[in-house]
Structure 1
Amino acid sequence: MSNNYQEKIIALWIVFLLGTLFHTQLGLMPLFHGLNVIESHTVKSINQISGIMWLMLGFFALPILAIIATVFTDNRRYRVIHFGLTVFYSVLNFIHLVVDVLLPQVIWYQITLMLLLFLIGLLLNLVAFQWMKAPLRDHHRVPERLA
């Protein structure tokens, strides 16, 4: 197994984002079956949920930015910040999982998906931790076969 942590981290973040998007999509599936979904476009309703929408944007945007930063950054400080970000997301996923289980009507396919996302997050924690502890690459060193 290779030690290209950056590639593994990027792949795991992408899988996580796809799973999160699917989680959101599952909540909208009743629309495709003709079931009633409360929808309101009044100014009052939009103002009430605008904070939630900004939080959702941040929740999706941070992993996207982490993917870009992981492609272009390989320094110790970023590795530590990135590991902290992965732990933060695991904590949020765990809280989300617990809250979903405590709802009056438990939707088990959503719980199963949230559990899968939580486990992917733990794997991301592990790989991010390994990358954080790995030695930095020396990009200025001349390869031995050329020296």
Structure 2
Amino acid sequence: MDLSIQSKIIALWAVFLFGMVFHSQLGFMPILYGENVAMPDYKGKMPVSHPWLMLGFFAIPMIVITATVFYNFHLYRVIHFGITVLYTVMNFTHAAMDLTVRPIEWYQITLMVIVLINGIFLNILAYQWMQ
């Protein structure tokens, strides 16, 4: 079976979303064992901007997946490629920042590297689709 490039892109975006949701879930796993996962600098109060930023971070790929199903014109493909590059840069930065957290949670680093590699494949396909 030969999948279209759009189908492959959609599949990679879905893998990205699953990876990021799983990354969030892994971050909360210690709660099940009675550990504190609170961010000490925030003293139990989440800034109003944080849930909106997370919503945007997850909603943009959802919108991109839907748009990729329906749109194939050149300007959209260029915008889409830019979004994939932006997300790859953010994932790289996130993985690098996770390396500064003590103790290092290697299972989280492993997952972020998998998501990053997936993102690089997404960049390659998005670039090919843009051409």
Q: TM-score, normalised by structure 1?
A: 0.81
1:123 corresponds in structure 2 to 121
The aligned runs of 1:60-75 (5 Å cut-off) are 60-75=58-73
Aligned-pair CA distance for 1:103: 2.1
Q: Which runs of 5+ in 1 are unaligned?
A: 134-147
* Per-residue CA distance 1:2-56 (angstroms, 9 max, x = gap): 36111001000001000000000000001222333449xxxx824xx22111111
Question: Which residue is 1:15 aligned to?
Answer: 15
Q: Distance in 2 between matches of 1:128 and 1:93?
A: 17
Change (3 A) 1:38 1:92: closer
Task: For 1:65 and 1:90, locate their aligned partners in 2 and report how far apart those are by CA, in whole Å.
Answer: 17
Counterpart Cα distance in 1 of 2:104 and 2:120:
23
Letter in 1 for 2:119: G
1:98 to 88, 96, 103: 96
The AA in structure 2 aligned to 1:111 is I
Q: In structure 2, what is the Cα distance between the partners aligned to 1:129 and 1:3? A: 17
Match of 1:114 in 2: 112
CA distance in 2, matches of 1:38, 1:103: 14
* Deviation of the 1:96 alpha carbon: 0.5
How well do the aligned residues superpose, as a CA RMSD in angstroms? 1.7
Aligned partners of 2:27 and 2:55: how far apart in 1? Answer: 17
Aligned length: 127
Percent identical residues: 51
Equivalent residue of 1:104, what SS? coil
Structure 2: state its 5+ residue gaps. Answer: none
Cα 1:38–1:101 shift into 2, 3 Å: closer
TM superposition score normalised by structure 2? 0.90
- Which ranges of 4 or more aligned residues in structure 1 deviate by more than 6 Å? none
Alignment correspondent of 2:51: 53
Cα separation, 1, equivalents of 2:57 and 2:111: 17
